């Protein structure tokens, strides 16, 4: 199976391009030394157009050219003036701001340079020991409420932290909005009825963004420009994006126990991870559905197998918990938001029902090669899907009889784009080659 992956990387134009310009090591892609900023400011901006109370629209924010964008958040206010039926409201996604959107994207002069799927953002929120970030991003505390406590009128502020996206993961990933022109953050807002499921006439009452910028003195900024931009060639920057496979529906699942589904993989890009989530669409027990996360809750995944070129390239051998036993440089508990559902009483694994943040992530990157870096510019391996054929995925999950009905199978790949920034005018072009 490893020969298939290695063959894909030998044939990868992206991998070969990165290796050609790497300053130190073929698995570490460096753009240069960072310059430490000496000042910061925050800016609140509104959308370019009025927000439709019914949701279901693409909202754009023109990002001001105030310096290096290092952090921020989107805030969407979901308002309900009338309560709904408790059992229906139990399906409301326990998702904070992440699942309030179908996707988010960055674009420069109508060129999309990155796209962020809510499932990928949820996976990013679960990494590290900062559990508050996870709670903000996916509203984890909602699982402790009753249907009656959720089914109340008023306004709920839903936050989406920018640090889940790659332009604020590390200093050298920050977007230079003093140099880049006409950069937009686009957010495809879901319908208000999908954000607040089961409520009577819910609405989106506000949507705005708060941005955090870092600035440096004029002479330091000029040194940065001189070191990174050349009129004769473009600056190449690596950014991750999302490739979303077609959502599959498994209909009329009944009878508790292990279920299985097989699907084709169409991704043509260079991927560094794949996130899989199996979401039940109905539940007869409102309390269980809330604890599962409503329509953002995922079933417990038991096994994942992926094949390409006629060979298995991923195999969890019937127990995905093996992922957490080794081959990682982070502390075991740093991923607790996903591993806590594997608790046991008397040696018996429990939490067979779907859980909030229940998903599985295949990480294709090399591990144990030193300290962990969140920077996308540290390319620690991956898989070139474009160089593979006959790509296929099988996922097994645990079905609880209270969730008899349809399931949706979501598969999203975290892929790498090469973004070239023209030193003459700050325009961007994107290569999605594998």
pLDDT, tens digit (0-9, with 9 covering 90-100), for 112-131: 989 999 998 888 877 665 66
Mean pLDDT of 204-217: 89
Banded pLDDT at 165 (limits 50, 70, 90): confident
For residue 219, what is the DSSP state? H
Average pLDDT, the chain: 80
pLDDT score of 46: 94
pLDDT score of 2: 60
Q: Say whether pLDDT at 426 is over 80.
A: no
Give the C-alpha separation, 308 to 235, whole Å.
34
Q: Say whether pLDDT at 148 is over 90.
A: no
Banded pLDDT at 321 (limits 50, 70, 90): low
Q: What class does CATH assign to 2-431? A: mainly beta
Helix, strand, or coil (residue 205): strand
- Indicate if the alpha-carbon torsion angle 404, 405, 409, 410 is positive or negative: negative
Give the C-alpha separation, 97 to 164, whole Å.
12
pLDDT score of 24: 43
Helix, strand, or coil (residue 142): helix
Give the C-alpha separation, 135 to 84, whole Å.
25
Q: Say whether pLDDT at 187 is over 90.
A: yes
Mean pLDDT of 128-155: 73
Q: Say whether pLDDT at 225 is over 90.
A: no
CB atoms within 10 A of CB 86: 17
pLDDT score of 33: 47
Q: What is the Cα gyration radius of the chain? A: 22
Q: Say whether pLDDT at 254 is over 50.
A: yes
Q: Say whether pLDDT at 265 is over 50.
A: yes
pLDDT score of 281: 96
pLDDT score of 352: 57
Q: Say whether pLDDT at 99 is over 50.
A: yes
The answer to whether residues 208 and 50 touch, using CB atoms and an 8 Å cutoff, is no
* Strand ranges for 121-178 from DSSP E: 154-161, 175-176
List b or e across 344-360, with b for residues whose CB sees 16 or more CB atoms inside 10 angstroms. eeeeeeebbbbbbbbbb
Backbone angles phi, psi at 104, to 5 degrees: -125, 150
362-402 tens-digit pLDDT: 888 765 444 445 555 566 678 899 999 999 999 999 899 99
Of residues 402 and 15, which shows the higher confidence score? 402
List the chain domain ranges. 2-431
Angle at 365 between CA 3 and CA 72, to 5 degrees: 155
Of residues 428 and 332, which shows the higher confidence score? 428
């Amino acid at each position: 199976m490893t020969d298939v992956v290695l063959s894909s990387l030998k044939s990868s134009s992206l991998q070969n391009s990165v290796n050609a310009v790497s300053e130190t090591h073929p698995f570490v892609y460096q753009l240069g030394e960072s310059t430490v900023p000496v000042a910061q400011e925050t800016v609140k901006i509104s959308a370019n157009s009025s927000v439709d109370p019914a949701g279901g629209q693409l909202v754009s924010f023109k990002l001001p050219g105030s310096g290096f964008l290092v952090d921020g958040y989107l805030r969407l206010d979901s308002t309900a003036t009338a309560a709904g039926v408790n059992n229906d409201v139990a399906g409301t996604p326990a998702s904070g701001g992440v699942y309030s959107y179908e996707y988010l994207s960055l674009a420069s002069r109508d060129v999309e340079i990155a796209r962020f799927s809510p499932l990928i953002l949820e996976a990013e929120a679960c990494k590290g020991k900062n559990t508050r970030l996870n709670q903000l991003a996916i509203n984890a505390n909602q699982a402790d409420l009753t249907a009656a406590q959720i089914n109340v009128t008023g306004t709920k502020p839903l936050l989406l932290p920018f640090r889940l996206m790659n332009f604020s993961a590390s200093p050298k990933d920050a977007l230079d909005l003093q140099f880049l022109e006409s950069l937009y953050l686009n957010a495809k807002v879901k319908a208000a009825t999908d954000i607040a499921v089961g409520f009577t006439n819910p609405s989106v009452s506000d949507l705005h963004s708060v941005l955090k910028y870092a600035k440096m003195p004029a002479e330091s900024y000029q040194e940065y420009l001189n070191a990174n931009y050349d009129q004769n060639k473009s600056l190449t920057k690596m950014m991750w994006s999302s490739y979303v496979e077609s959502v599959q529906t498994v209909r009329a699942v009944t009878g508790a126990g292990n279920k299985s589904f097989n699907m084709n993989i169409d991704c043509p890009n260079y991927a560094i991870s794949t996130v899989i989530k199996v979401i039940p669409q109905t539940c007869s027990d409102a309390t269980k559905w809330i604890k599962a996360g409503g329509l953002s809750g995922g079933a417990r995944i038991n096994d994942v197998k992926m094949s390409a070129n006629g060979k298995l390239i991923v195999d969890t051998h019937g127990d995905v918990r093996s992922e957490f036993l080794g081959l990682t440089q982070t502390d075991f508990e740093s991923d607790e938001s996903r591993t806590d559902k594997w608790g046991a009483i008397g040696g018996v694994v429990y939490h067979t029902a779907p859980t909030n943040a229940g998903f599985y992530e295949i990480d294709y990157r090399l591990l144990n090669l030193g300290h962990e870096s969140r920077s996308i510019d540290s390319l620690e391996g991956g898989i070139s899907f474009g160089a593979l054929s006959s790509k296929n995925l099988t996922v097994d999950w645990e079905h609880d009889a209270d969730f008899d009905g349809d399931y949706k199978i979501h598969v999203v790949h975290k892929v790498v784009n090469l973004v070239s920034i023209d030193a003459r005018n700050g325009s961007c072009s994107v290569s999605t080659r594998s």
